[in-house]
Amino acid sequence: MAEDRPTSGADVPPEREVAPAPSVHSLASELLAAADVAAPDLRGGTVLAMAEASDPVAPPRVEAAGGGCGGGRRILLDGAATTLTDGDRPTHLLVRAVGPDGSGVLVLVERGERGVEPWPRGGERTGEVVFRAVRLDADRVVTGEVRDPA
């Protein structure tokens, strides 16, 4: 049987200091910086959140959607995702998706885009979001590449 005895400070391992986990906003900012993309600058401040595949077998998908207004290239974003926020209502979602060739891409979606339902509310840390034929300018793909249909 083990004997109960008082321990001295020498017997007790020092407590490890655990660094606090970075905020979701910070992680999204780092991903944008690594892609050499500046975070959006909005009056009143930008709040970044992330959206990850709800179902790893069926992540959000991005495909080229041809020309847009003024002849610009467009993309189409479809699928369901889980949102990760710091509890604030985000102004932008950084969405992990896959392109037509199956490679990973990151897409920046701004609050108010048509086809994004529901947008994360303030106070939520996680939630579900669906992208239904969300049309965006091709420059919203911040990493990876989505080619026009041949």
Q: What domains lie within the chain, and their CATH numbers?
A: 24-143 (2.40.110.10)
Residue 71 has pLDDT above 60, yes or no: no
Give the mean pLDDT of 84-102: 91
In 3D space, the residue among 129, 115, 131, 117 whose CA is nearest the CA of residue 78 turns out to be 131
| Whether residue 55 has pLDDT greater than 80 | yes
**Average pLDDT value for residue range 86-101:** 92
Q: Give 67's DSSP letter.
A: E
Please report which residue ranges of the chain form alpha helices under DSSP H: 24-34
What is the spatial distance between Cα 73 and Cα 136, in angstroms, rounded to a whole number?
A: 9
- Statement: residue 88 has pLDDT above 90: no
The pLDDT tens digits for 132-142 are: 999 999 889 99
**Cα–Cα dist 101/147, whole Å:** 9
- pLDDT, residue 44, reads 74
State how far the Cα of 72 lies from the Cα of 93, in Å rounded to an integer: 22
